[in-house]
Amino acid sequence: MRDVLQNMADYDHEQILFGYDKVSGLKCIIAIHNTTLGPALGGLRIWPYKNEDEALFDVLRLSVGMTYKNAAMGLDFGGAKAVMIHDPNTEKPEELMRAFGRMVESLGGRYYTAEDVGSTLDDLSYVAKETKYVAGLPGTSGNPSPVTGWGVYNAMKATAKRVWGSDELKGKKVAVQGCGNVGFSLIEHLLEEGAVVYATDMFEDKIERAKKAGAIPVEMDKVYDLDVDIFAPCALGAILNDDTIPRLKVKAICGSANNQLLEPRHGKALAARGILYSPDFIVNGGGVINCAEEFAPGGYDKERALKRAAGIYDILLKIFAIADERKIEPYEAANIYAEERIQKALEQKRMFFEK
């Protein structure tokens, strides 16, 4: 077993809750990384982790990512994540999800949960029977993907502005990996502006849908070798690695997938090849923006969420400016951008008053 407290110290976590329930067999870990900006928001990942170490490693890493993403998107939320050790393709009975809901409730609002890999809106509806600290339920902000897709499209325009001096995507060739919820939404926006879109997916129906919309289908493995302008990873993480980077002919990478770089050094490898990598957690921030809008005064408003997600354009330009100023890469500048916001909030908290 990892030395949990030492791991917390390494990543600077505030709190970790290990949850077990005898009735349902629930095994979960909730990692609250940082609540300087507000209650911690981050989804529930349900995954058949091989052991506790693997689950702990994932939740620690993912929760740090949420702190940075929420901060960079200008949200009044800190970062956290929950993982449940369970195969999401097997039954997820009501008592299991409710047991998780009770764990969330026990944190008294320090953590808001939401949908993530392996958890569905139906699962969250059970969670919500035990706690009000759930975001993204049906009838509230709902499916974030259209807002995420709109954010990725706007991020791509900012990316184009940096590379080509104009944010016009008309005529640009873009390869989209993954035509799922976000990928397809991005494809629609790109085609509407007149971009030439190449699309790949592992499922024929997804490819067919993209083709019908006007995209050019490509085989899954060929996507890395295409002679195009922009690569948009919208499927899996870790796809920017020693095998794929030397094959890329693009000038820029901008997509929704989380953790696209296998390791931080791959960010440097892209820069060395003259490829601009727009940091994933900025590009795909539309999803958390959508969730957070639920808590805005007056409740959720999709138009407002879309408007905010379009603001990712300006956020990215600011990050490029920091990168220039400090002579670092944009993925490093994105961390600084998020950290500075947290630091400012911490300093303002020096002045005490009852809220």
In this complex, which beta carbon is closest to ligand NAD, that of residue 235 or of residue 310?
235
Shorter beta-carbon distance to ligand NAD: residue 301 or 324: 301
Burial 311-339 (b: 16+ CB within 10 A, else e): bbbebbeebbebbeeeeebbbbbbbbbbe
The verdict on 181 binding ligand NAD (CB under 6 A) reads yes
Query: In the complex, what is the shortest distance from the CB of residue 122 to ligand NAD, in angstroms, rounded to a whole number?
Result: 16
Choose the catalytic residue: 81, 157, 206, 251.
81
| Contact residue for ligand NAD among 35, 36, 70, 200 (CB under 6 A) | 200
Alpha-carbon distance values, 17 to 20, 26, 32, 107, 118 (Å): 10, 13, 8, 9, 20
155 CB-side CA count, 13 A:
34
Task: Report the candidate in 285, 178, 150, 316 with the shortest Cα–Cα distance to residue 239.
Answer: 178
CB 179 to ligand NAD: min, Å: 6
DSSP H helical segments within 84-196, as ranges? 94-106, 121-127, 145-164, 181-193
Question: Which span (57-65, 77-85, 255-263, 347-355) binds ligand NAD, by CB under 6 A?
Answer: 255-263
- Beta carbon nearer to ligand NAD, 67 or 145: 145
Binding range to ligand NAD, per CB under 6 A, among 34-42, 120-128, 176-184, 303-311 = 176-184
Closest C-alpha among 196, 176, 198, 200 to residue 186: 176
**Sign of the four-CA dihedral 53, 56, 58, 60:** negative
Q: What angle do CA 326, 332, 334 make, to 5 degrees?
A: 100
Which residue, 241 or 258, is less far from ligand NAD as judged by CB?
A: 258
Among 32, 127, 234, 315, binds ligand NAD (CB under 6 A): 234
Three-state DSSP state, 173: strand
- The reply to whether 81 belongs to the active site is yes
Span near ligand NAD by CB under 6 A; candidates 44-52, 180-188, 297-305, 336-344: 180-188
List Cα–Cα distances, 86 to 80, 130, 178, 214, in angstroms: 19, 20, 25, 39
Using a 10 angstrom Cβ sphere, with 0-12 exposed, 13-18 middle and 19 or more buried, the burial of residue 347 is exposed
Judged by CB under 6 A, does residue 125 bind ligand NAD? no
Token representation of residue 200: 């790949």
The count of other CB atoms within 10 Å of the CB of residue 22 is 7
User: Please, what is the minimum distance in Å from the beta carbon of residue 99 to ligand NAD?
Assistant: 25
Verify binding: residue 177, ligand NAD, rule CB under 6 A: yes
Q: Scan for tokens 């929704």, then name that residue.
A: 256
Check binding of 258 to ligand NAD (CB under 6 A): yes
Among 39, 178, 267, 279, binds ligand NAD (CB under 6 A): 178
Q: Does 140 bind ligand NAD (CB under 6 A)?
A: no
Query: Binding to ligand NAD (CB under 6 A): which residues in 295-354?
Result: none
As measured in angstroms, the least distance from the Cβ of 221 to ligand NAD is: 8
| Contact between 235 and ligand NAD per CB under 6 A | yes
Q: Which two tokens stand for residue 30?
A: 């909730």
Please select the residue that binds ligand NAD; options are 202, 208, 273, 325, rule is CB under 6 A. Answer: 202
Backbone dihedral region for residue 74 (phi beyond 0: left; psi -120 to 50: alpha; all else: beta)? left
Q: By CB under 6 A, tell whether 206 contacts ligand NAD.
A: yes
- The verdict on 294 binding ligand NAD (CB under 6 A) reads no
Q: Which residues of 49-62 are buried (b: 16+ CB within 10 A; e: fewer)?
A: beeeeebbebbbeb
* 154 is an interface residue for ligand NAD by CB under 6 A: no
The amino acid sitting at 21 is D
Selected range binding ligand NAD among 34-42, 80-88, 161-169, 233-241, rule: CB under 6 A:
233-241
Instruction: Give the residues lining the site for ligand NAD (CB under 6 A).
Output: 144-145, 148, 177-183, 200-203, 206, 220, 234-236, 256-258, 284, 287
Catalytic residues: 81
